[in-house]
Amino acid sequence: MLNELRALLDSYPERYAIGETYLAAPQKTVSYCGPDKLHAAFSFDFIPVNWSFPWNPGWIMGQIARREQTFHLAGVWPATVMSNHDLPRAASRYAKGEEDARPGSPWRCC
Amino acid sequence: MALLLSLRGTPFMYYGEEIGMRDIHLRRGEILDPPGQKYWPFYKGRDGCRSPMQWDAGAQAGFSTARPWLPVHPDYLQRNVAAQQADPGSLFHFTKKLLALRKAYPALRRGDYVPLETRPRFPGLPAQHARAIRAGGDQFQKQLGPIRALRRANGKCFFPASPI
């Protein structure tokens, strides 16, 4: 089906298709991408399905490493997303109070 | 924001992220998202992240003269595009600087990702990422200067005002 979709898309100029593959495992996500499939699929490594997103350097590095490994091995260029229309906003997930978005706060740096 | 705009890959920004918009909190009767109406209080739906864009301190945060589908976040008087445009230290301007940096350095857009450290230096801050650099193929030699500078300065060179 993805092949058909891509063939149809390719009959138009300046096309780009990205998959909102939220419930898929990273390996499955990359499998949707390719020259005859989608151009890209979102990596939801920072908004995982279990809604666990601690502000923790180790966890964030782990997610980056996992994402790098999966996408790099598959030869797929990642697409990064921190918030979308279905999930709590990044600022709500990570910030503790209103002042957290002010200059000098951890949220702003990272 | 720095993670989103510096990781290897194509970044997708959600509206309002550039001003740090927060989710709105609705009472049960105000929830409009059907899954939220059905599964409250276990799941309150997706209305939280769908409030109107906060443009300015005017009526409905400048989003519309009509009553919007969902209410504007009450913090719109302080948190809005106009206010952050006027504040050089705001998240809005930080985002703009990051985008300019991304535009200026091909390695930030198309480079590889190479973590320089594996141990966090500061609690609560992914320091490894702050120190992570990317360089790819032909761009490597060209980018070596900035990379050395980044290494030396631990990221400080681009944002002297930031406490990284």
Pick A82's closest partner by Cβ from B17, B46, B163.
B17
Cβ–Cβ below 8 Å for B10 and A78:
yes
The structure tokens listed for A32 are 């949707």
pLDDT at residue number A107: 43
Q: What is the ipTM of this complex?
A: 0.83
pTM for this one? 0.78
pLDDT at residue number A76: 93
The verdict on B90 touching A (C-beta cutoff 8 Å) is yes
Cα B60 from chain centre: 23
pLDDT at residue number A109: 38
pLDDT at residue number B150: 52
Pick A68's closest partner by Cβ from B23, B113, B130.
B113
pLDDT at residue number B117: 53
Cβ–Cβ below 8 Å for B16 and A89:
yes
Cβ–Cβ below 8 Å for A46 and B22:
no
The structure tokens listed for A1 are 């089906």
Pick A77's closest partner by Cβ from B10, B163, B164.
B10
Residue of chain A minimizing CA distance to B84: A102
Residue A96: which of A56, A44, A55 has the closest Cα?
A55
Q: What is the pLDDT along chain B (164 residues), one digit of tens a residue?
A: 888 998 999 999 999 999 999 999 999 999 999 999 999 999 999 999 999 999 999 999 999 999 999 999 999 999 999 999 999 999 999 999 999 999 998 888 888 887 765 444 444 444 444 444 443 333 333 333 445 545 554 544 454 434 33
Q: Measured between CA atoms, how close is A54 to chain B, in angstroms? A: 10
Q: What is the pLDDT along chain A (110 residues), one digit of tens a residue?
A: 899 999 999 999 999 999 998 888 888 999 999 999 999 999 888 888 777 777 777 888 888 888 988 998 899 999 999 999 999 999 888 876 654 444 444 444 33
Sorted by where each begins, the domain ranges of chain A are 2-109
Residue of chain B minimizing CA distance to A80: B11
Q: Measured between CA atoms, how close is A61 to chain B, in angstroms? A: 7
pLDDT at residue number A47: 86
pLDDT at residue number B163: 38
- Give the bridge partners for B10, in sequence order: A79
Q: Output the CA–CA distances (angstroms, integers) from residue B80 to A94, A106, B21, B84, B118, in the order listed.
A: 19, 20, 8, 6, 37
CA angle B94, B99, B104 (to 5 degrees): 125
Cβ–Cβ below 8 Å for B91 and A87:
no
The verdict on B160 touching A (C-beta cutoff 8 Å) is no
Q: How many CA atoms lie within 13 A of B78 on its CB side?
A: 11
B102 sits in which H/E element: helix B91-104
